[in-house]
Amino acid sequence: MPIADAQNDLLLMVDFQGRLMPAIANGQEVVAQARRLLAAARLLGVPVVYTEQNPRGLGGTLPELAPREGEAVVAKMTFDAWRSPEVRRAAPAGRATPAGRATPAERDLLVAGCEAHVCVLQTVLGALADGRRVKVVRDAIGSRREESRAAAIARMQGHGAEIVTTEMVVFEWLGSAENPSFKETIALIK
């Protein structure tokens, strides 16, 4: 599976919602990593799509991860966000260009969110079953119980998802210390 690529990835932020996050084990650390990942994505031009599970019941996305103008927010009731037509439209399938560069229509999914063993897992499995390449950001996903998170990671990996960390992704997106955004981006993870 290819490394993370700012020209090829789409960051999918799954259900980082106000009423859900207090119940997440190590929730503050999960949010901190997601915030770093999100900031790097924005600096490097990686598109971002958010989902919110039953926002009437669980509230909206946390203020520290709030979507910006141009970033899609998809309300959903299904646990598998990939079943949502709005998510599929934001990350449609496609083909590589003749030069081998990615087009927005074929971006790999880079997934962060909660809960790892419910919505993240089902979304990842759905996208994989649809033939998509998926990378799961291990330190930016959470569950109420650590054993549920660990089981979800193992299951997603067993089905073909690549497991990465925020720092791996940031350095892969940069590609080189000569990247014009290097200093600003590295400051996010120090």
Contacts with 178 (C-beta within 8 Å, 6 or more apart), sequence order: none
Instruction: Tell me how many domains the chain contains.
Output: 1
Looking up residue 31, the CATH number of its domain turns out to be 3.40.50.850
Q: Give tens-digit pLDDT for 125-182.
A: 999 999 999 999 999 999 999 999 999 999 999 999 999 999 999 999 998 889 898 9
**Which structural domain range is residue 99 located in?**
9-189
Question: Is residue 1 included in any domain, yes or no?
Answer: no
CA distances for 10 relative to 48, 140, 150, angstroms? 6, 15, 24
Question: Is residue 3 included in any domain, yes or no?
Answer: no
Question: Is residue 123 included in any domain, yes or no?
Answer: yes
Question: Is residue 2 included in any domain, yes or no?
Answer: no
Question: Is residue 159 included in any domain, yes or no?
Answer: yes
Q: Give tens-digit pLDDT for 65-108.
A: 999 998 999 999 999 999 998 888 877 554 444 455 445 456 78
Question: Is residue 4 included in any domain, yes or no?
Answer: no
